[in-house]
Chain A
Amino acid sequence: MSRPAPALRSAAALAAMELRLTSRRGENVLVTLVIPVAVLLFFAAVGIVPATAGRAVDFLLPGALALAIIASGLVNLGIATAYERSYGVLKRLGGSPLSRSGLVAAKIASILVLEVVQVVLLVAVAAAALGWRPPAGASPALVVVAALLGTFTFAGLGLLMAGTLRAEATLALANGLFLGFLMLGGIVLPIDHLPDALQVVARVLPASALADTFRVALSGTGDVVGPAVMLFAWGLAAVGLSVRYFQWE
């Protein structure tokens, strides 16, 4: 005969398990750690990014941070959860003493840990390989806010797909969106370099809102309220729809 363990202990155990499984999935390590670093180094090296204000790395590092958050929330969490749903892992967890809020808390905690690793890695690579130094106006607090807002929004989008689509469809769509956001989301190319029609689309994407929020946080210049509010609106919509339509099996 047993009792449920304290919620915090249960959630911590599941978060640790999620991280262990992420580290075992080669494709997750690739998309969350290798690709953002590779994108940062490659586009800094080829010099196609016009350094309108300062150097290319000042534009690319916030973009790479945004890409890392998208990789963690949308791609990694979305695909992993979609397969957990199709294997019945979520259903089995639902039959355990772990509460539903404990399950969500564990997922969020595991992504936040992964994101700390991503941010530290990207900043270290930018500093060591590209000579990046934080400008005087950079705000670490605002970087944290941008990361949390971005996590809320992209984890919400990932879970919305995972909970409503087949696992294979989530896999395809998450990768497609990742590529779309990379090209159109102001990650590696400033949006004003896109054709006019695409600019209209690009400016309302959650990816460009997140990249712009990171840019303001790291440069200390520009308006942060506009992109942050747009990012939050996307997050509210995604999380609201997931709560409403998520199917556990």
Chain B
Amino acid sequence: MSEAAIAAREAAAPATEAPASASEPAIRLEGLVKRYGARPVLEGVSLAVSRGEIVALLGPNGAGKTTTVEIVEGYRRADGGTVRVLGIDAASGGPTLRARVGLMLQGGGLDPRSTPRDVLRLYAAFHVGGRDPKALLSLMGLERVATTRVKRLSGGERQRLALALALVGDPEVLVLDEPTAGMDPEAKHDTRNLVHRLRDEGRAVLLTTHDLTDVERLADRVAILHHGRIVADGSVAALTGSGEARLRIRLARPLDGAGATALRAELRRTHPEATINVDGPAQSAFAVGAVLPDPWLIAAVASWLAARDLPIVELRTVGGTLEERYLELTGDRDVEAAA
């Protein structure tokens, strides 16, 4: 084929692909089933990621997160269900599909004796129309360590290099397995901004994480995987909105049983359903539940305390956080608390 013919075909390609890709999500999983031997790992996972969307796959260890992303990446074949990436069957996409999907694996897959510049140049050579390795080094803040061997890089630098590797082919779809693991807070912040920018450029991003802050600050949607099934799928707000919120107050002096009864009587006028639970023997903290902790409730409680000269040490609303919702759905304690 002549160069002119190739150019003409490339120019024509977006126009012919556009109608199909506009309606089709970039990643679409339907009824995914996977067993390792007799042990079922995925039992009917369905999930879609659109272009310009970040979806976080959250779940306890062993829930099937990595198995799911490895099926999307083409490393494993599902025993049942369909896996479409950019409209193509993931298991049979071949080099053409792999050029359009950027991967970040746990552990990175980097040779300790190679350098960031070596690795980025190597992977850039596998693509036509990819990104410039030098520009990527600078984008990821790796210029200073461009010729440092991988074994001497910090954990965060390795993660950034692995992410740079995912971007080298200028991919339409990004699949990131624990992208911010091992990064310091600043690198996490920068990485989240970068992923947002990639999303805003119209790329689809599927990521797994253990970090609930990642989910809250990064993801447009969160899908919670538990025992091989998606038990929740929606925006963080939609997911946490259904949790019950409470107002918690800690006082400088105890609020005894009589005080609690008096407060309940006071609140009955404005918030008839409100309940009051005083903590433990110290009795210096209590929770107001069964009603939304709205400003009127807070004002009513605060003015009652003010009239009795009871100083507040701590006042916060709890419940309805992603962490609590997550624990409720999975019973999992193995998460980094939202910081």
* Residues on A facing B (Cβ under 8 Å): 1-6, 9-10, 13-14, 17, 20-21, 24-25, 83-84, 87-99
Contacts and interface: CB of A to CB of B under 8 A. Distances in A.
Between B73, B109, B165, B171, the greatest number of chain A beta carbons within 10 A of the residue's beta carbon is seen for B109
B122 interface: yes
Among all A-B residue pairs, the 7 with the closest Cβ atoms:
A92-B109, A13-B125, A88-B109, A4-B95, A2-B129, A2-B127, A97-B99
Nearest to A16: B122
A97 B98 contact: yes
Contacts of A92: 103, 105, 108-110, 165
Interface string B141-183: 0000000000000000000000001000111100000000000
6 contacts: A5-B126, A10-B126, A21-B113, A87-B111, A94-B75, A97-B99
A4 B105 contact: no
Interface residues of B, number: 35
B114 A17 contact: yes
Contacts of B165: 92
Contacts of B113: 21, 24-25
Contacts, number: 98
Interface of B: 73-75, 94-96, 98-101, 103, 105, 107-114, 118, 121-123, 125-130, 165, 169-172
A21 B105 CA distance: 22
A78 B73 CA distance: 27
Nearest to A22: B113
B100 A87 contact: no
Contacts of B170: 1-2
Nearest to B122: A17
Contacts of A10: 125-126
Contacts of B107: 87-88
Contacts of B112: 87
A44 B126 CA distance: 47
Contacts of A96: 98, 123, 126, 169
A165 B75 CA distance: 20
B174 to A, nearest CB: 12
Contacts of A21: 111, 113-114
A95 B110 contact: no
Contact of A2 (B75, B94, B111, B128): B128
Contact of A3 (B73, B103, B127): B127
A1 B129 contact: yes
Given A2-B169, A4-B96, A89 B129 contact: no
Given A17-B114, A87-B110, A95-B73, 14 more contacts: A2-B100, A2-B128, A2-B170, A2-B171, A4-B126, A13-B125, A25-B113, A83-B111, A87-B109, A87-B111, A92-B105, A92-B165, A94-B75, A97-B98
A89 B109 contact: yes
Contacts of A20: 118
Given A1-B100, A88-B105, A13 B111 contact: no
A2 B98 CA distance: 10
B125 A3 contact: no
Nearest to A100: B95
A99 B121 CA distance: 17
B241 to A, nearest CB: 37
A95 B96 contact: no
A73 to B, nearest CB: 20
Contacts of B127: 2-5, 97
A4 B130 CA distance: 9
A5 B125 contact: yes
A124 to B, nearest CB: 29
A95 B126 contact: no
A218 to B, nearest CB: 36
Contacts of B128: 2-6
Given A3-B99, A5-B126, A95 B111 contact: no
A249 B330 CA distance: 30
A91 B109 contact: yes
Nearest to B114: A21
Nearest to B98: A97
Contacts of A24: 113
